[in-house]
């Protein structure tokens, strides 16, 4: 930016010197018919144009580099903050984050374009005023007084431009967020026939964004029109005064050319200075939105431990949403199933075990080997505990890429993948396509059914081989026969010896599936937000009438 400012300032100085040079040539070379002076003057004028051209070339290039690098750096910085594993404590939605990390980053980077151009324009106005003061004092004084008055008047309109720009950017971001939500939920919307209602909501949000955009454009247009008109009036007044002075004999022909040329050129720097507040307003509005993301605190606290040994998982007096003091322990090597009479308890427990909730949102503590999960770095926690949610996320790419995620497997990678596929019944999904595991599944796994997506996601979870695996309703989209096969497959895989003999896999299945309940070593029953009973599936069927009625209905 400094280099661009230097070159653009030099360019504006050379532009200012052109009418001065032409006026001097007229008075001291052409008027005196001195060929030698004319030759030297023309050579100097040519050199002036070379400096002018190359100063613009290098200045504009450096300006473009500064702008592109800054906008890229801002996008990366905001994206890194949004993707912080500890989360982001912000009310903004995904679509708003997308707008902030793209268009707002570009708008804010415009400050690197505005500052060098503004400084170069000030250089030009200063040199023009100095030249006019030298030629005719009142004309120079008029420019020195008129220019600050114009800028002060335009500055008064800046707060209104900032407000309208900020409002416009917020409504556009809101519309983008709504569009993102609607697209991600398009399939269930079609299932319930809610497309028209959703489209109407988006239409209303889009119209609000359009209205805000029109208000901002109207304000910017009015501002630009007034600023250009006032600047032109100042330049025309200077030129008219020079013409009158030339007719009265107070100015020579060369001086008239200089004044007229400077008055005409004065429009360019004044126009730049006039539109500068508009650019600053847009950049300031975007900067405020960027700051709201960059300054947002993380959801999770600063961790104390960056490693933990795999061991037992403990939940002590967990109270969150519908949970009311849930307490239980899962020991290494255990396959435990959790059955809740109220699905809200299952959802709440799954979120607590995900490790994505800030400790302030729930009471109680979750420990791994005696260390609170909230005190672990996200990397350390994820190396030990993996949570596979009910609503899974798949990505554009092949089945293989969605399962392995580029991980370098320990031991025999092919065998490890084959075991995970068979245990999750995802091998059947691959067998349906000629490309097998190299079949492209489309964005968010759109070419797969709900049950197929669940099986692929489960294969991914099993392939990871984490010491503790939490599954939340992992098979709700499959038939009873497949569900039974998957339950047995998960149990077999998770009890299989690993390449690390000291490690025992712990599996917790939050489920209402009879197949998983019967495959589990122990079933933990939650009623009214707390642990109400424990035992094997067979014991609970025999001894607990409420459990028997709920599971077998």
pLDDT, tens only, 538-552: 999 999 999 999 988
C-alpha closest to that of 478 among 504, 459, 499: 459
Number of helices (H), then strands (E), belonging to the chain: the values are 20, 10
- State CA 141 to chain mean position distance: 50
Sheet holding 363-368: strands in order across?
326-330, 313-319, 363-368, 371-372
- The stretch 80-94 carries a mean pLDDT of 83
Q: What is the DSSP string of 395-456?
A: -SSBHHHHHHTT---SS-HHHHHHHHHHHHTHHHHHHTSTTGGG-B--GGGTTS-HHHHHHH
Q: Which domains does the chain have, with CATH numbers?
A: 2-294 (1.20.1560.10), 313-552 (3.40.50.300)
Q: How confident is the model at residue 382 (pLDDT cuts 50, 70, 90)?
A: confident
Share of residues in the chain with pLDDT > 90 (%): 33
pLDDT reported for residue 398? 87
pLDDT reported for residue 184? 64
Distance CA 121, CA 128 (A): 11
- The stretch 61-87 carries a mean pLDDT of 91
Backbone angles phi, psi at 367, to 5 degrees: -120, 150
Q: How confident is the model at residue 503 (pLDDT cuts 50, 70, 90)?
A: very low
Summarised one tens digit per residue, pLDDT across range 134-181 is: 887 877 777 777 777 776 676 666 666 666 766 776 777 777 777 766
- Whether 293 has a pLDDT exceeding 80, the answer reads yes
**Under 8 Å between Cβ of 199 and 185:** no
pLDDT reported for residue 214? 84
Higher pLDDT, 119 or 216: 119
pLDDT reported for residue 34? 80
pLDDT reported for residue 163? 67
pLDDT reported for residue 407? 66
What pTM value is reported for the model? 0.64
Q: How confident is the model at residue 501 (pLDDT cuts 50, 70, 90)?
A: very low
- Whether 106 has a pLDDT exceeding 80, the answer reads yes
pLDDT reported for residue 232? 74
Summarised one tens digit per residue, pLDDT across range 336-351 is: 999 999 999 999 999 9
**Under 8 Å between Cβ of 322 and 529:** yes
- Whether 305 has a pLDDT exceeding 90, the answer reads no
Record the tokens describing residue 38, joined without a space: 């004319």
- The stretch 109-117 carries a mean pLDDT of 90
Record the tokens describing residue 371, joined without a space: 């260390």
pLDDT reported for residue 471? 94
Q: How confident is the model at residue 379 (pLDDT cuts 50, 70, 90)?
A: confident
- The stretch 375-391 carries a mean pLDDT of 85
- Whether 274 has a pLDDT exceeding 60, the answer reads yes
Q: What is the mean pLDDT of the chain?
A: 84
Distance CA 351, CA 345 (A): 10
pLDDT reported for residue 408? 57
Summarised one tens digit per residue, pLDDT across range 254-270 is: 887 887 777 778 778 87
pLDDT reported for residue 342? 92
pLDDT reported for residue 502? 40
Distance CA 253, CA 264 (A): 16
pLDDT reported for residue 328? 92
Return the minimum-mean-pLDDT range out of 9-23, 391-405, 471-485. 391-405
**Under 8 Å between Cβ of 474 and 387:** no
CA–CA–CA angle 246, 247, 248 (5° rounding): 90
C-alpha closest to that of 513 among 539, 543, 550: 550
- Going by their DSSP bridges, the two strands 363-368 and 313-319 should be labelled as antiparallel
């Amino acid at each position: 930016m400094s280099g661009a400012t230097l070159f653009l300032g030099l360019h504006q100085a050379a532009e200012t010197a052109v009418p001065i040079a032409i006026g001097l040539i007229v008075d001291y070379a052409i008027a005196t018919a001195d060929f030698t002076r004319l030759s030297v003057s023309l050579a100097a004028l040519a050199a002036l144009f070379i400096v002018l051209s190359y100063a613009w070339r290098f200045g504009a290039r450096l300006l473009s580099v500064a702008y592109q690098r800054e906008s890229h750096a801002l996008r990366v910085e905001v994206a890194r903050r949004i993707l912080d594993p500890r989360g982001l404590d912000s009310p903004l939605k995904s679509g708003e984050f997308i707008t902030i990390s793209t268009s707002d980053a570009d708008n804010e980077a415009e400050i690197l374009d505005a500052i060098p151009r503004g400084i170069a324009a000030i250089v030009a106005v200063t040199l023009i005023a100095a030249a006019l003061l030298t030629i005719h004092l009142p004309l120079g004084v008029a420019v020195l007084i008129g220019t600050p008055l114009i800028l002060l008047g335009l500055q008064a309109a800046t707060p209104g431009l900032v407000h309208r720009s900020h409002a416009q950017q917020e409504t556009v971001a809101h519309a983008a967020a709504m569009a993102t939500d609607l697209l991600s939920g398009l399939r269930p919307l079609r299932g319930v026939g809610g497309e028209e209602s959703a489209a109407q909501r988006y239409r209303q949000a889009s119209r609000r964004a359009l209205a805000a955009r029109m208000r901002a454009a109207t304000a910017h247009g009015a501002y630009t029109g007034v600023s250009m008109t006032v600047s032109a009036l100042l330049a025309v007044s200077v030129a008219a005064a020079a013409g009158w002075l030339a007719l009265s004999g107070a100015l020579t022909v060369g001086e008239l050319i200089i004044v007229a040329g400077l008055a005409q050129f004065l429009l360019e720097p004044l126009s730049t200075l006039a539109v500068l507040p508009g650019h600053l307003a847009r950049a300031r509005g975007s900067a405020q939105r960027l700051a709201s993301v960059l300054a947002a605190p993380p959801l999770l606290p600063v961790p104390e431990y960056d490693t933990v040994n795999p061991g037992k998982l403990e939940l002590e007096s967990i109270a969150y949403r519908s949970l009311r003091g849930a307490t239980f322990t899962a020991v290494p090597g255990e396959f435990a199933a959790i059955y809740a009479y109220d699905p809200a308890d299952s959802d709440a427990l799954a979120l607590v075990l995900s490790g994505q909730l800030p400790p302030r949102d729930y009471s109680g503590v979750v420990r791994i080997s005696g260390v609170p999960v909230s005190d672990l770095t996200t990397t350390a926690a994820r190396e030990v505990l993996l949570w596979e949610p009910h609503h899974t996320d798949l990505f554009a790419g092949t089945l293989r890429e969605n399962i392995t995620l580029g991980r370098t497997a320990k031991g025999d990678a092919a065998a490890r993948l084959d075991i995970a596929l068979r245990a999750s019944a995802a091998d059947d999904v691959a067998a349906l396509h000629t490309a097998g595991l190299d079949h492209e599944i489309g964005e968010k796994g759109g070419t797969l059914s709900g049950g197929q997506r669940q099986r692929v996601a489960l294969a991914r979870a099993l392939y990871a081989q984490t010491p503790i695996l939490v599954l939340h309703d992992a098979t709700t989209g499959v038939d009873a026969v497949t569900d039974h096969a998957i339950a047995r497959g998960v149990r077999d895989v998770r009890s299989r010896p690993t390449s690390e003999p000291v490690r025992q896999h712990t599996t917790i299945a939050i489920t209402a599936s009879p197949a998983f309940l019967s495959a589990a070593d122990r079933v933990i029953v939650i009623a009214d937000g707390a642990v109400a009973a424990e035992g094997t599936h067979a014991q609970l069927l025999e001894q607990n009438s409420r459990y028997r009625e709920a599971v077998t209905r």
